[in-house]
Amino acid sequence: MQRLLPIIFYFVGVKSGEEATAENRFLMPSGLEIYDISIWEQPIRISQLITDEPVTGIEVVDNLAFLANGKNGLAIVNITDLAKPLLIDNHPVPSHIATDVAYNTKTKVLAMSVADELGAGFIRFYDVTDDQLNPPTGYSSLIFNEGELRGQPVDIQWLNDKLYVLLKRDQQLHLVIFDNLSVAVTYQVHAIERGSVDNINDASLFVQYGQITVTKQ
């Protein structure tokens, strides 16, 4: 009896690759790659989409992929045909850099973290059920420019309707946990021991129940 394996797709953001060469035409400096990883040991590249700016965050919602795309802001890619991903829209962030995106499957809210070159930034929210991606009701942008919330948000993740933010203040990393975002926002700030980085793309965050992992490059 032949056993059919489930098809599993993997979306990869390229932030600092290389130009294609005669020996390897699949190289690219930045963009999106889609793989079939039904057989984990033998991933198959299905397609690529080259972008002008680094891709540092990806969220897939139905037939759309939302990319944190550097100075181009939020890039929206139609992936109805996985073999031919199509860039259909951009929400730019002038003089800023989009660093990550995170999607809350319960509330249908997409968050995008953005940093500037002066050491500050913000997080903007989008209602993915709205064709114009307007802000969801009750959600205001989070601003990181003063006090204990001064810094550059470099990575974000939702868990239990709380938004976890990896914040780079000067060279020091902090974890900020936001709650009640659609009502009366509350937050907690925690300094990360030995959490020192130079570049906003040098650290990433992974949150699961009972554990928070921060990795540095």
pLDDT in the model for residue 1: 40
Q: What is the pTM of this model?
A: 0.92
- Please tell me the distance from the alpha carbon of residue 98 to that of residue 187, in angstroms, as a whole number: 22
Q: How confident is the model at residue 116 (pLDDT cuts 50, 70, 90)?
A: very high
Of 208, 78, 205, 17, nearest in space to 216 by CA: 205
pLDDT in the model for residue 3: 45
pLDDT in the model for residue 165: 98
Q: What residue ranges do the domains of the chain occupy?
A: 1-18+29-92, 99-217
pLDDT (mean) for 145-154: 96
Average pLDDT, the chain: 91
pLDDT in the model for residue 7: 65
Q: How confident is the model at residue 168 (pLDDT cuts 50, 70, 90)?
A: very high
Asked whether residue 57 carries a pLDDT value surpassing 60, the answer given is: yes
**pLDDT: is 172 or 210 the higher one?**
172
Asked whether residue 2 carries a pLDDT value surpassing 60, the answer given is: no
Q: How confident is the model at residue 217 (pLDDT cuts 50, 70, 90)?
A: confident
Report the half-sphere exposure of 51 (CA within 13 A, side-chain side): 31
Asked whether residue 205 carries a pLDDT value surpassing 50, the answer given is: yes
Per residue in 115-140, is it b (16+ CB within 10 Å) or e — as a string? bbeeebbbbbbbbbeeeebeebeebe
Asked whether residue 5 carries a pLDDT value surpassing 60, the answer given is: no
pLDDT in the model for residue 6: 63
pLDDT (mean) for 60-82: 96
Query: Range with the lowest mean pLDDT among 28-32, 53-57, 99-103, 193-197?
Result: 193-197
- Please tell me the distance from the alpha carbon of residue 173 to that of residue 155, in angstroms, as a whole number: 11
pLDDT (mean) for 52-80: 96
pLDDT in the model for residue 166: 96
Asked whether residue 139 carries a pLDDT value surpassing 60, the answer given is: yes
pLDDT digits (tens, 9 = 90+) for 10-40: 999 998 777 778 788 778 889 999 999 988 8
Question: Which residues pair with residue 48 across a beta bridge?
Answer: 33
